[in-house]
Structure 1
Amino acid sequence: MGARKYMLTIWSLGENLLFGGLTFGWALLVIILKDEGVYAGLCTASNTSENVSTTTPPIDSSEEYVQTCIAQERQLNLVFTVAVVVRALSGPFIGQLLYRRGVRATRIVMVICLSAGLLMIAFTSVDIPWLLFPGLTFMAVGGEALFSSNIQAAYLFQSGSSFVVSLMSGMFDASASVMLIIKIVYDRGVARLYSFLTMAGAFILLASISSIFFLPKTFFKDGEPVRYRKRSTPDVTVTAVSDGKVYQRRASITSAEFRSNIIPPLQHCVLSPVFLSHVLWFSILQLRWYFYLGAFNTWITLVSKGSEEQIHFFTDVSLYVQLCSVVMALVSGVVLGFERRRCSDKPTSIQRRLRPSLSLQAIACILAIVLSSVILVPSTDILYFVFIVAIALRTLIYGMGAAYIQMIFPVEYFGFLFGVLMCAGGVIGCFQYLLFVWMETNPISPQKVNIFLLVLTVISLIHPVHIWIICRRAAIKAANGERRVDKLENYDFLLRKRK
């Protein structure tokens, strides 16, 4: 199994890199769609301006300036919003499918959705622009199913699983760079239709090979696939006290009884404060990322004052920077692994399981605050810094979003809990479109929207502060020799290490 698990992991990483997060290359796809005139029919003289800043380009300037159509911008942003929200809302269903039917059934759904999405985008044209809605949505849902099934490979590793989760997330993020390749070949005369048809064919071939021959039918667990393990009825030590004396004896219990004593009920995990605060953290930061991505083209047009050359240049640069998400994922995985080793000798399971995620989740909040602050400066000089901060934030949002659940909760619940997390984030993500409409109401609205998001990102600090308080209380009680106290008993039961 040693060589096999590395082969499965490398293959899963490759799939994530090529097809997982294609939706996040939306900014480049928008440029292609605008160039082709998709939804340009919505533009009229009343909603088209020479450029967003309403400044007039110099007469003797050889630089080209774009015309910005508000109706077209809103329609394309609506396409993106619908896709990412439906992707998030599909999380619980994908999680249940993964939990009940395993990896192979989930991947069948993934192949159908992602290939259908690629084909619909391929055949989108000026005459049938509505294909963008189901196309991008299916592509987003298929990417989510791909990520959820491939991330199970992390459970093949008894040590370093959090590093694999972070690396998977980095590959998922870097897959947006595939859109950069499509734009490059589009600029050289290759039609979008042929690029997406090629991608669809390659995906169906590669995903079918891995689903049938490589990946297991069920899911991975504790260093071995479930199908290779034999569960036995364990013996336990039963302790009783009578007349002031302690008596112990060995007794056999059923597997169901053993399982109920080791793994907490699913509803306890979903309703636990450590999970709910994580949902709050994830939803706020994902909204910040969604708005940055959905309004990217409009924002770049504002900053560059409508210069077409600068719009294309900085959009390409942002995608090149996004390739660095793999490196950022490696760094975050190394840091998380270091934190887990550093906390492995803590006296309580609460500290051992919660404390390692604290620093990276706090850093994600700080990055979101920094992004919301520097983006208020309408200058091209800060764009490189903004791109780096945004990609680092994106890596930590999804990397820690998954790794946090993987570290704390049972493997059987990962798919469902991750789905609930994505679903809640999707509901909050609906407000991205409302923020985009608000941004376009008047020239000062973009500043107001970013100030509002700045306040929200400050609120996201509640989660790392909450974790710090729990770990601090646990440390104090352990130092005083008290094993349990009030609400910490529930946390200790929820986070108890499984044998």
Structure 2
Amino acid sequence: MACHQNPNLELSLTRRVVIFMIGIIESMLFGGAVFGWPQLVHVLKVEGIYSDLCMDSPSAPNHTRRQPSAADTFNNTRCINLNTTFEISDSKAIGVEKCDPQDERFALIYTVTVCCYSIPGILVGYLLHHAGLRVTRVSGGTMLSMGFLFLGIATKDSPHWLFPAMILLALGGNQTRMSVMQFGDLFPDYRATAITMLSGMYAASAALFLVFQYTAMAGIPRAHVCWALAAISSLSIFLSFIIPVHHIPIHNQQSQNQDVIESPSPLKTSLCSASSFLHQLWFFVHLLAVNNYQQSYNVWITSSSCSVAEAGLYSMLFSYSNILTVFFGPIGGVFTDYMIRKAYNTPNELDRRVKEVQASFWPLLVTSVFNTVMYGCLLFFHPAAIYVSLLCMLVARPCIIAVSTAYLRIRFPAGHFNRLLGIYGTVGSVLLFLQYPHFMWAQHMYYAAHALILAVLAVSYLNPIHLLFTPLIRHAVVIRDNLKPEDLHPVRNTYADKEVNGL
């Protein structure tokens, strides 16, 4: 049974703005901090975590400086032509040296982390639906705090704390992100913009781990930084008490001006639709691509660099790029809201609803293109490819979640939103276990492994393309809204409505 909010609950503008800003800050700091893994891996390698795995590895270095070979640099002729002397860090297991056992262990941790991020999504969706916002937020804030505490405990001598730390950060971050998504209903007239802003902000949280690199340079122990982050994340628990207990009141301005009363269809109808299957494919494939990119990033930049300093620069640029994603995530929502408001002037009610659904076409298509180019850059071991991939990531990474979330809110009934968000996240994350065997495959057949992902990305373009088939979308809207024959061709006198409203 769904939790029920007081139907007469009204939130003042001040309270709505405060709640929205809380959501922005929480999403920007903790919503997807685990996706800053490439930056964290660089720090962990400098500290020598899991460097013991390299001691018995054939690729383990036995001296601090040596001349590069084509095998070590994946035929990186740029470095060979420059006759660069490769430097090895104090841990004797990082830098531009390639240590397969260490890379594979970090890849395994990241795979488990990413899968734990959204596998419980279906449970979180039902938790939001039945228990409400406060319970979900308190649970998420608690796990975030514990995750940072465990991350602070992890050292070279006890690296096993990394597993529970990253899992808790993933679980807590996802609960925080999904709770924040409800705040889009605070501003119904700009719902798509609000949702994409909130969901896009989570991409910036991947830059959180950059603080570890700067504090290490300042001589501040990583453990002390983790204690501070644990304290900051615990504030989510206390801030939950100024937010409605159950959910944000939903006020659909458009429904107040239309003659047709929408009756949500069953959840099974939404799940079994063609749009649902195509979007699940699109969401999974693009999520797999961006996670494979992030998982391979550290190995890629290491193989493309001619010195430890150069690899460190690319690692920092990754975090800086994630900070800048906050400016690109909302773009898709702004455009979608513009198209929805433009569609509202359509006299035919059914045509208006069809155009609202089709408003997501360009955001989905543009996101697909940028993500494909970003992933394709992995095939080139050159600084130019790294810079291009980071530029594409500015758009692709925040928009995958942001545009997908806005599309779900538009395409399917509002009452299905929380559960669909959780179901898609869970299904996608279960399938993301494939990224670890893919990483292992890429270690031996690099180009074939990544070419396969590019091919599947091409298939995923069916999702935005199917929105162009108006008869198909018209039929989907009829089923979604349970429209009767007499409701299929209502004509609204929009000019008369404006005169009544004094416009």
TM-score, with length taken from structure 2? 0.83
Partner of 1:277: 278
SS at match of 1:77: helix
Correspondence 1:429 to 2:449:
no
Within a 5 Å distance, the mapping from 1:130-169 to structure 2 comes to 130-169=160-199
Distance in structure 2 (CA, Å) of the matches to 1:60 and 1:411 = 58
Q: Where in structure 2 are there 5+ consecutive unaligned residues? A: 1-11, 89-94, 253-258, 489-503
Larger strand percent: 1
Equivalent position of 1:324 in the other structure: 324
How many Å separate the matches in 1 of 2:96 and 2:190?
Answer: 49
State whether structure 2 residue 16 is matched by structure 1 residue 5.
Answer: yes
Q: Please say if 1:14 is aligned against 2:25.
A: yes
CA offset digits 1:44-64 (Å, max 9, x no partner): 242436773177978884855
Give 1:467's aligned residue: 467
Partner in structure 1 of residue 236 of structure 2: 207
2:42 is matched with which residue?
A: 31
The residue aligned with 1:386 is 389
- More off after superposition, 182-191 vs 154-163: 182-191
Tell me the equivalent position of 2:213: 183
Kept after mapping to 2: 8 A contact 1:176/1:322:
yes
How big is the shift at 1:488? 6.7
The SS at the match of 1:425 is helix
1:84 match? 114
Deviation at 1:278, TM superposition (A): 0.9
Aligned residue-pair number: 447
Tell whether 2:494 aligns with 1:493: no
The separation in 1 between residues aligned to 2:51 and 2:201, in whole angstroms, is 34
Which of 175, 187, 192 pairs up with 2:222? 192
CA distance in 2, matches of 1:263, 1:221: 17
Report the secondary structure of 1:440's partner residue.
helix
Distance 2:42 2:483 in 1: 48
1:398 match = 401
Judge conservation of contact 1:104–1:216 (CA < 8 Å) in 2: yes
Deviations 1:161-183 (A, max 9, x none): 11111111221111112211221
TM-aligned CA deviation for residue 221 of structure 1: 3.0
Q: For residue 28 of structure 2, what is the amino acid of its counterpart?
A: L
Q: CA deviation at 1:349?
A: 5.0
CA distance in 1, matches of 2:243, 2:418: 17
Q: 1:488 to 1:62 in 2, by over 3 A?
A: closer
Report deviation, 1:17.
1.2
Whether 2:60 is the aligned partner of 1:48: answer yes
Q: Does 1:105 align with 2:135?
A: yes
**1:304 alignment partner AA:** S
Alpha carbons of 1:208 and 1:109: their partners in 2 closer, same or farther (altered >3 Å)? Answer: closer
1:371 aligned partner: 374
Contact residue 148 and residue 165 of structure 2 kept, 8 A: yes
Shift of residue 79, structure 1, vs aligned partner? 0.4
| Post-superposition CA distance 1:313-343 (Å, at most 9, x none) | 0111121121111110232222222222233
Q: Equivalents in 2 of 1:60, 1:342: separation in Å? A: 58
Unaligned runs of 5+ in 1: 225-235, 238-257, 476-484
Q: Aligned to 1:70, which of 93, 100, 109?
A: 100
Once the two structures are TM-superposed, the CA of residue 415 in structure 1 deviates from its matched residue by: 1.6
In the other structure, the counterpart of 1:358 is 361
CA distance in 1, matches of 2:236, 2:279: 32
Name the counterpart of 1:302. 303
Contact preservation (8 Å) 1:284, 1:428: no
User: In the alignment, what sits opposite 2:456?
Assistant: 456
CA gap 1:462/1:59 in 2 versus in 1, 3 angstroms: closer
* Maintained 8 Å contact 1:103/1:218: yes
By how many angstroms is 1:494 displaced?
8.5
Secondary structure of the corresponding residue to residue 188 of structure 2: coil
Query: Offset at 1:26?
Result: 0.8
CA RMSD in angstroms comes to 2.6
Q: Percent identity?
A: 24
Matched, 1:339 2:339: yes
SS at match of 2:265: coil
Contact 1:47-1:71 within 8 A present in 2 as well: no
**Offset, 1:451:** 1.1
Amino acid at match of 1:360: P
Deviation at residue 350 of structure 1 after TM alignment: 4.5
Q: Which amino acid aligns with 2:270?
A: C
Deviation at 1:473, TM superposition (A): 4.9
Deviation at 1:406, TM superposition (A): 1.4
Secondary structure of 1:345's aligned partner: coil
CA distance in 2, matches of 1:329, 1:369: 17
Residue 452 of structure 1 aligns to a residue in which SS? helix
Look up the equivalent residue of 2:34 and give its one-letter code.
T
Q: Does 1:216 align with 2:248?
A: no
Give 3-state SS (helix, strand or coil) of 1:412's partner.
helix
Residue number in structure 2 paired with 1:482? none
2:250 maps to amino acid: D
